[in-house]
Amino acid sequence: MKYALVTGGSRGLGKAVCLKLASMGMPVIINYQSNGEAAEGVKAEIEAMGGQAELMPFNVGKMEEVEAAMDKWQDAHPDDYIAYLVNNAGIRRDNVMFMMPEADWHDVINTSLNGFYYVTRRCLPKMMMRKHGGRIVNMASLSGLKGMPGQTNYSAAKAALIGATKALAQEVAPRAVTVNAVAPGFIETDMTKDLPQDELKQLVPMKRFGKAEEVADLVGFLVSDAASYITGEVISINGGLY
């Protein structure tokens, strides 16, 4: 069976993506770091709609944890593989550069960029062997395209993820695996709840923050058969804010 793995699937964009992929008939593996209660809630929602879901907690930024969780899953699923991977887990630790603690620089890059590397590297061999059209979608950001003041760490991590998306897309295209990135602007989730929304939405041509479900619909399209010839792309979803 072909499974979908969504990192950071317990809340926000990842949760909406889990629900979307389940609604498309995919069995979903919900990764999260620490919020088991929220992840259980996503699993219950998927099961209530007749879908199939399982939990896979690990810190995407710790290679040993990624490897151990993947080994355990593969042992329990010898005939299955992860055909759809959404690298969504990410954190913000905003600060002006001259005051940014070293830990905040490294933690943000470790989660978004090294996390992408650890999880994707592990999923690729099976995806490339099957020739059934594997799909990888990386959650980048508008910050990675234009750079945001106060977010040098986050902008660097997301810009690097975009570079990696384009390089990997060319590597694995001969195996019918597509690799794309999604670059959201301001979306209503826990990550943005401390931002002054009334002020910031005035910057958005559509005058509102996006909804997690709107991003999930885009991810759903990118993993679908309809997107089989799209690879190495970065698709913005930002209400017109560039």
Catalytically annotated residues: 154
Structure tokens given for 132 = 């059934």
Helix, strand, or coil (residue 10): coil
DSSP character at residue 190 = G
**Measured from the CB atom, is 79 or 199 closer to ligand NAP?**
199
Structure tokens given for 15 = 């949760």
**Measured from the CB atom, is 112 or 178 closer to ligand NAP?**
112
**Measured from the CB atom, is 139 or 227 closer to ligand NAP?**
139
Q: Percent helix, strand, coil in the chain (nearest 5)? A: 50, 15, 30
CB of 99 to ligand NAP, least distance (A): 21
Beta strands in the chain (DSSP E): 2-6, 28-32, 53-57, 81-87, 135-139, 178-184, 234-237
Rounded CA gap, 175 and 123, in Å?
A: 14
CB of 145 to ligand NAP, least distance (A): 10
**Measured from the CB atom, is 24 or 55 closer to ligand NAP?**
55
As beta bridge partners, residue 87 has 138
CB of 176 to ligand NAP, least distance (A): 26
**Measured from the CB atom, is 95 or 192 closer to ligand NAP?**
192
Binding site for ligand NAP (CB under 6 A): 7-8, 10-14, 31-35, 38, 59-61, 88-91, 111-112, 139, 141, 184, 186-187, 189-192
Helix (H) or strand (E) holding 197, with range, is: helix 197-200
Tell me the three-class secondary structure of 67-92, residue by residue.
HHHHHHHHHHCCCCEEEEEEECCCCC
CB of 129 to ligand NAP, least distance (A): 26
- Dihedral angle at the C-alpha atoms of 211, 212, 214, 216, nearest 10 degrees? 180
CB of 190 to ligand NAP, least distance (A): 4
Rounded CA gap, 14 and 115, in Å?
A: 15
